[in-house]
Amino acid sequence: MSVTEKTAGAPVMRAPTTYEGTKIPHPIPSVLEPSQELRASGDILEVNFGPNHPSTHGVLRLVADLDGENVVGLRAVIGYLHTGFEKTMEQKSYWKGITYPERIDYLSFQNNELEFVLAIEKLLGLEVPEKATWVRTCLCELNRIHSHLVWLGTAALELGAISMFWYCFRERDRILDLFEMVTGVRMHTRYFQTGGVAEDVPPGFVPQAREFVKVMPGAVDEYEGLVDRNRIWLERTVGVGILSADDAVAMGQSGPILRASGVDWDLRKREPYLAYGEVDFDVPVYSGGDVYDRYRVHMDEMRESTRIVSQCLDRIEQLDGEPWIADDRKVVLPPREELHTSMEALIHHFKIVTEGYAVPEGQVYAVIESPRGEAACYLVSNGGTKPWRVHFRAPSFAATALAPTLCRGELIANMIAVVGSLDGVMGDVDR
Amino acid sequence: MTYEGVPGLVEAVEEYGETTLVVDPARLTEAMTHLRDELGFTFLSDVCGVDYLGWDGKGVAGYIGTAGGRDLNAPGSQGLPKVPRPKPKRFAVSYHLLALREEPARVRVQAFLDDGEAIASVVAIWPAADWFERETYDMFGIVFDGHPNLVRILMDDDWEGHPLRKDYPIGGEPVRFSSAE
The tens-digit pLDDT sequence of chain A (431 residues) is 333 344 444 455 555 567 777 888 888 888 888 888 888 888 888 888 878 776 667 788 999 999 888 999 999 999 888 988 999 898 888 988 999 998 998 899 999 999 999 999 999 999 899 999 999 999 999 999 999 999 999 988 888 888 999 999 999 999 999 999 999 888 888 899 898 998 889 999 999 999 999 999 999 999 988 888 888 888 888 888 888 888 899 999 999 999 998 888 999 988 899 899 999 999 999 888 889 999 999 999 999 999 999 999 999 999 888 888 988 888 898 888 888 999 999 998 988 888 788 888 899 999 999 999 999 999 999 887 889 999 999 999 999 999 999 988 889 888 888 998 988 888 889 88
Q: Which helix (H) or strand (E) holds B35?
A: helix B28-37
| Interface test with chain A among B19, B131, B140, B149, by most A beta carbons within 10 Å | B131
Expressed in angstroms, the distance from the first to the final Cα of chain A is: 48
The beta-carbon neighbor of A87 closest among B132, B156, B164 is B164
Please judge whether A249 and B148 are an interchain contact, meaning their C-beta atoms are less than 8 angstroms apart.
Answer: no
Q: Give domain status of residue A36, yes or no.
A: no
Q: Look at residue B82 in the predicted model and tell me its pLDDT.
A: 67
Pick from B85, B130, B139, B147 the residue to mutate for testing the A interface (most A CBs within 10 Å): B130
Cβ-defined contact of B155 to A82 (cutoff 8 Å): yes
User: In terms of CA atoms, which chain B residue is nearest residue A60?
Assistant: B154
By Cβ distance, the residue of A78, A356, A367 closest to B153 is: A78
Distance CA A142, CA A155 (A): 20
At what angle are helices A162-183 and A205-227 packed, to 10 degrees? Answer: 170
In a structure prediction context, what are the per-residue pLDDT tens digits for chain B, which is 181 residues long?
A: 788 888 888 888 999 989 999 999 999 999 999 999 888 899 999 999 999 887 776 543 333 333 344 444 444 444 566 677 888 898 999 999 999 888 889 999 999 999 889 999 999 999 999 999 999 999 999 999 999 999 999 988 888 889 898 888 776 555 666 666 5
8 A C-beta contact, residue B116 and residue B60:
no
Look at residue A4 in the predicted model and tell me its pLDDT.
Answer: 39
- What CATH number has the domain bearing residue A419? 1.10.645.10
| Spans of all domains in chain B | 9-78+85-145
Q: Which CATH architecture has domain B9-78+85-145?
A: 2-Layer Sandwich (3.30)
CB contact under 8 A, B104 and A251: no
Between strands B9-15 and A389-393, the pairing is: unpaired
Q: How far apart are the first and last CA of chain B?
A: 63
Q: How far apart are CA A420 and CA A155, in angstroms?
A: 5
Which residue on chain A is closest to B87 by alpha carbon? A382
A373-381 vs A389-393, strand pairing mode: antiparallel
| Per-residue pLDDT tens digits for B35-63 | 998 888 999 999 999 998 877 765 433 33
Provide, as residue numbers in chain A, all residues whose Cβ is less than 8 Å from the Cβ of B153: 78-79
Alpha carbon of A216: minimum distance to chain B alpha carbons (Å): 32
Dihedral of CA atoms A18, A19, A22, A24 in degrees, nearest 10, equals: -70
* Residue A276 near residue A137, CB atoms below 8 Å: yes
What are the chain A neighbours of B80 within 8 Å (beta carbons)?
358, 382-384
Inside any domain, residue A414: yes
Domain holding A293, by residue range, is 85-430
Chain A: residue whose CA lies nearest to B162:
A87
* Residue A181, domain member (yes or no): yes
Q: Do A363 and B130 touch (CB under 8 A)?
A: no
- Taking only Cα atoms into account, the Rg of chain A, rounded to an integer number of angstroms, comes to 23
Q: Which helix (H) or strand (E) holds B13?
A: strand B9-15
Q: Which residue does chain A place closest to B103, by CA atoms?
A: A270
Q: From the list B16, B84, B135, which residue is nearest A123 (CB)?
A: B16
**Predicted confidence (pLDDT) per residue in B63-81, tens digit:** 333 334 444 444 444 456 6
Contact flag B130-A28 (C-beta cutoff 8 Å): yes
Helix axes A291-318, A130-158, angle to 10 degrees: 150
DSSP B25: G
In this complex, is the C-beta atom of B3 within 8 Å of any C-beta atom belonging to chain A? no
* Most B-contacting residue of A378, A406, A422, A430 (CB-CB within 10 A), to test interface: A378
CB B34 within 8 A of CB B9: no
Chain A: nearest CA to B27, how far in angstroms? 22
Residues of A in contact with B156 (CB under 8 A): 79
**Nearest chain B residue to A126, by CA:** B16
Partners of B135 on chain A (C-beta within 8 Å) are 397
Q: In 3D, which of A190, A376, A353, A169 has the Cα closest to residue A273? A: A376
CA–CA distance, A194 with A184 (Å, rounded to integer): 19
User: Which chain A residues are closer than 8 Å to B73 by Cβ?
Assistant: 384
Please name the residues in contact with B133: beta carbons below 8 A apart, sequence gap of 6 or more.
Answer: B47, B121, B122, B123, B144, B147, B150
Q: Which residues of B touch A393 (CB under 8 A)?
A: 45-46, 48, 96
Whether B87 contacts chain A with CB within 8 A: no
- Global pTM reads 0.88
- B65 alpha-carbon distance from chain centroid: 27
In A, minimum Cα distance to B157 occurs at: A79
3-class DSSP string for chain A: CCHHHHHCCCCCCCCCCCCCCCCCCCCCCCEECCCHHHHHHCCCEEEEECCCCCCCCCCCEEEEEEECCEEEEEEEECCCCCCCHHHHHCCCCHHHHCCCHHHHCCCCHHHHHHHHHHHHHHHHCCCCCHHHHHHHHHHHHHHHHHHHHHHHHHHHHHCCCHHHHHHHHHHHHHHHHHHHHHHCCCCCCCCEECCEECCCCCCCHHHHHHHHHHHHHHHHHHHHHHHCCCHHHHHHHCCCCCCCHHHHHHCCCCHHHHHHCCCCCCHHHHCCCCCCCCCCCCCCCCCCCCHHHHHHHHHHHHHHHHHHHHHHHHHHHHCCCCCCECCCCCCCCCCHHHHHCCHHHHHHHHHHHHCCCCCCCEEEEEEEEECCEEEEEEEEECCCCCCCEEEEECHHHHHHCCHHHHHCCCEHHHHHHHHHHCCCCHHHHHC
Rounded distance between C-alpha atoms, residue B96 and residue A260, angstroms: 24
Amino acid at the residue A116: F
Of A263, A271, A430, Cβ closest to residue B104: A271
Number of domains in chain A: 1
Amino acid symbol at A44: I
Q: What integer pLDDT is reported at residue B142 of this predicted model?
A: 93
ipTM entry: 0.88
Report pLDDT for B69.
Answer: 40
CA distances for A247 relative to A16, A300, B105, B150, angstroms = 16, 23, 20, 22
- A234 φ/ψ sector (left φ>0, alpha ψ -120 to 50, else beta): alpha
| Distance (Å) from the alpha carbon of A359 to chain B's nearest alpha carbon | 10
Residue A335, preceding bond cis, omega within 30 degrees? no
Contacts of B72-78 spanning 24+ positions with Cβ under 8 A: B72/B166, B73/A384, B76/A355, B77/A355, B77/A356, B77/A384, B77/A385, B77/A386, B78/A355
Question: Quick one: closest CA in A to B168, which residue?
Answer: A87
pLDDT at A95: 87
From B151's Cα to the closest Cα of chain A, the distance in A is: 11
Cβ of B16 and A430 within 8 Å?
no
Give the chain B residue nearest A23 (alpha carbons).
B127
Question: Strand B18-23 relative to strand B105-113: parallel, antiparallel, unpaired?
Answer: parallel
CA distance A36 to chain B (A): 18
Length of chain A: 431
Q: A322 CA to chain B: closest CA distance, Å? A: 28
Q: Which residues of B touch A91 (CB under 8 A)?
A: 170
Residue contact B16–A362, C-beta within 8 A: yes
The answer to whether the CB atoms of B20 and A79 lie below 8 A apart is no
Of residues A35, A42, A193, the one with CA closest to residue A129:
A193
Question: How many whole angstroms from its chain centre is CA B83?
Answer: 20
For residue A212, give the amino acid letter: F
Which residues in B lie closer than 8 A to residue A376 (C-beta atoms)? Answer: 45-46, 96
Taking CB atoms and an 8 Å limit, are A388 and B55 in contact across chains? yes
Contact A89, A389 (CB under 8 A): no
